[in-house]
Structure 1
Amino acid sequence: MSSPGDVPPEILDRLRAICRGLPEAYEEPAWIGIRWRIRARTVAHVYTPDPERFPVYARYLVAGEAPTVMTFRVPLDDLLGLTADGFPYFRAPWGPNVAAAILGDHTDWTEIAELVTDSYCQMAPKFLAARVGL
């Protein structure tokens, strides 16, 4: 069993590839897991929470194991549409525009790349966000 915060290397590799293309974004260890930031703002945070300590995650167990979760920012206008169908997305219990995705074999990495990029564009200074996709 992995310890809380451990993120499977294949998920980290995918997220690193996405975040590498975001101007001036950087990776750092977080209080749990890994996060990507622009300046002092978090764009995406990936971790494996302890469902006993954070019961909100208990319903997302995968084969009895804690899920790998990524939180990110979503425009308020898009949040309800993204989370309305449930799995793999839900509203994170902090921040009005924070969503979470359960990552795993089912993950649509093209969609995750779009969501992380959108989160970056919300958090980055406008001149850096304008460079995305150039």
Structure 2
Amino acid sequence: MSAPGDVPEEILLRLRAICRALPEAYEEPAWIGVRWRIRQRTVAHVYLRDAEDDCVMTFRAPGEEIVALVQSGQSFYRADWGDNVVGMIFTDDVDWIEVAELLTESYRLMAPKRLAALVDGPPLLSD
């Protein structure tokens, strides 16, 4: 199993920057890797897959978006557990603007309506 410290620091730093902008979202160690939550609901979970040594993130997305992501031919897949869970394998050419959009949408799906309404769009990112 991977530990929270196994996730590459550059990935953690970028994910932290995105998730800190989400009202009341918090980071915590997960059984493997690190996850960001709103109340008791997981918005995103990042970890290393042991067998492949890939850095993977899971998050929530609406059903129609899951289909589009998986069919995009990029590094997305439908997780075989949970409702509306998508997995993403981090590659060298990851689009961090897209990651911010995906995590913002995941937050909106998982947050109470009052908090979700406070989020207009993804945070502005700098390279």
TM above 0.5, yes or no, is yes
Aligned with residue 93 of structure 1, among 73, 80, 92: 80
Letter in 2 for 1:87: Q
Q: Which has the larger radius of gyration?
A: 1
The reply on whether 1:33 has 2:33 as its aligned counterpart is yes
- Superposed, 1:85-124 pairs within 5 Å as 85-124=72-111
The reply on whether 1:4 has 2:2 as its aligned counterpart is yes
Q: Partners of 1:32 and 1:86 in 2: how far apart? A: 27
Structure 1 SS opposite 2:72: coil
The reply on whether 1:131 has 2:121 as its aligned counterpart is no
Q: Partners of 1:95 and 1:68 in 2: how far apart? A: 20
Shift of 1:38: 0.1
Q: TM-score, normalised by structure 2?
A: 0.88
Aligned to 1:46: 46
Listed as ranges, the gaps of 5+ residues in structure 1 are 52-60
Structure 2 SS opposite 1:4: coil
Give the % identical residues: 60
Runs ≥4 residues deviating over 3 A: none
Letter in 2 for 1:32: I
The reply on whether 1:74 has 2:61 as its aligned counterpart is yes
Shift of 1:124: 0.1
Listed as ranges, the gaps of 5+ residues in structure 2 are 122-127
Structure 1 SS opposite 2:81: coil
Aligned length: 119
* 1:55-96 C-alpha deviation (Å, 9 max, x unpaired): xxxxxx4xxxx1100000010121111111333111111113
Shift of 1:109: 0.2
Q: In terms of mean alpha carbon deviation, does 103-112 or 82-91 score higher?
A: 82-91
Question: What RMSD in Å do the two structures reach over aligned CA positions?
Answer: 1.4
Q: TM-score, normalised by structure 1?
A: 0.84
